[in-house]
Structure formats: C-alpha cells, structure tokens
Structure 1
C-alpha cells in the first residue's frame, strides 16, 4: 500500500512543482499590467484575464499538492486534542465520508457544463478577452481528479498507520 500511496503522491508532486511557477508569473504579469496602464496608458483585457486564468490554474491544480504537503485548511476541533491514532482515524473518516463524496458530487454536477463548454468552444468572459473559457472550466474536473488521487494516497497512508500502529 505504501508504494501505491507513493505513486499517487508523485502525480500531485509533479503538478505542484509545475504550477507553483504560475505564482511568480502572475506577479510579473500583474506588474506589467500596472506599468502598461499607468506609465504607458495602455490596457488589454486579454492580459488582465490572463492573471485570472493563471490564478485559477494555480489554485485548482495546486489543491492536490496542498493536501499532499498537509498545508490545507483544517478545522482542528477534534484533531488538535487527538492522539496520533485518533488523528489517523479522523483523516480516514474525513477522506472517505466528507472529501471524496463531495468532490465526486462536484465532478458529477460540473461535468455537463464542462462538456457543453468544450462542445461550443466557449469564448471569452468579456469582449476582447481570452477566448478559452472552455479551458478554464476544464480546471474543475482536473481539480476533482487531482484531489481524489491525493485523498486516496492519504487514505492509504492513514490505513497503514492504523494497521501497523504507527504514530508518525
């Protein structure tokens, strides 16, 4: 099971290492936007939208990596006072009962919108913008799949901890 969890981790580790560069690129593009607007008096809707696209890509594709490195938002009502074994149980139940079912529901309910966007190659959000909303909407199922993959890896690791009595 440990090997499977490691292989699943590799998916989000690779995606995380790739999309993290979007944060730097976003800052540079936003700086260029401000410079172009206030120094040169030039503005571009497509360039402005590119920041939105990068931001969406960074957060949607980086969610699985965030779960991998355990930097996600966690409500520590129960977990803060739990033993290591208790924390493993909370994570197992959380992944099986809360995370995966909700992500599967999101995947199921968003799929028609994504499919329709691809069918018509849905265009720009605003006039003069990037004509690729269908790509933006594709981030939703990608987010779901990457989160399910990482959730499965976490679930397997916690099951191993419970089986072996490991606390680390």
Structure 2
C-alpha cells in the first residue's frame, strides 16, 4: 500500500505544479484581451492571431486545469446529501464515482478523440482564418491531454480514498 500512496503523491505533486503554472494563463489572457481591445478601439486595428491566442489560452486553462480542480475538490457537485456524509461515506462516494463514471469518461474522451487529433497532426492543421495561429493541431491535442490528466488525478483520488476506507494512515 505504501507504493500506492507514493503514486498518489506523485500524481498530486504533478497536478499541483501544472495547476499553478496554468494559473499564469489567466494573466496572459487578460493582457492579450486588453491588447486586442486597445488595438481595436484605440487604433482601429485588429489581430486575428491575438484573438485566437485568447481562445488557445482559454482552452489550455480549462482543459488542462480540470485535474487541478478535481484535486482541490472545487468541481461542481450536488451536495444535497454528500455534505452530511462522514469522511468515510464521502470516500465511498468519491471512489465509486471515480471508478464508475470519471475514469470511464476519461477513457471514452481519450479513445474517441484520438483519430481526430492524429488526423489534425498529420496535416498540421492550421487556422482557417487568414493571419490566424497555424497550430490548430496543438489546440486539438488538449482533448487527449485532458483525458490523461483527469484520469491520473481520478486515480490519485481513488487511491487516497481507498487508503482512508481500509483505515491506513494518510
């Protein structure tokens, strides 16, 4: 069981580090959005690449930040009953939810997006807009990365909850 605890800790550290790094994308999005607005209304000019950069940053933040949100239990939850459960009851709900819903969903996203992403990489898909970012294939790669990151964090959550359920010290 010690090995499982180490695996969960490693995944948690990875998720924490990537989440903190991703938080900087919020600042980058705000700065690029400000630049787009100033260019448009101050100088009557625009940049398709800057507008698409906002979309790329937003996609990275939300797709890659989902695991960080799960780690910090900040995801949307219907707590009508859950909030009244004991820590052991919550561990059961979280474990069952991860194993029966979240992990299979991650597998589905990974496998259903794989050919879509590979096809985009094969042609090095670019923006359909003139002057857009020539890397749509990178944006589409966020789909399998979301699935992998979220699956790993769901695994860490399940391992942590299993340790609580068997009474092993945290």
**Stretch of structure 1 that moved more, 34-43 or 119-128:** 119-128
- The structure-2 alpha-carbon separation of the partners of 1:95 and 1:122, relative to structure 1 and needing over 3 Å to count, comes to same
Q: What are the Cα deviations for residues 76-130 of structure 1, in whole angstroms up to 9, with x where unaligned?
A: 2431232221110000000000000011011110100000000000110423211
Does residue 39 of structure 1 match 2:42?
Answer: yes
User: What TM-score comes out, normalization by structure 1 length?
Assistant: 0.95
Q: How many aligned residue pairs are there?
A: 167
Aligned pairs (5 A) from 1:34-113: 34-113=37-116
Distance 1:12 1:106 in 2: 19
- Who is 2:153 aligned against? 150
| Aligned residue number for residue 27 of structure 2 | 24
Judge conservation of contact 1:46–1:128 (CA < 8 Å) in 2.
Answer: yes
For structure 2, the 5+ residue unaligned runs are: none
Contact 1:64 1:146 survives alignment (8 Å) = yes
**Is 1:14 matched up with 2:17?**
yes
With normalisation by structure 2, the TM-score equals 0.94
Runs of 4+ in 1 over 4 A off after TM superposition: none
Q: Secondary structure, in 3 states, of the residue corresponding to 1:76?
A: coil
Name the Cα RMSD after superposition. Answer: 1.4
Is the contact between residue 30 and residue 51 of structure 1 (CA under 8 Å) also seen in structure 2? Answer: yes
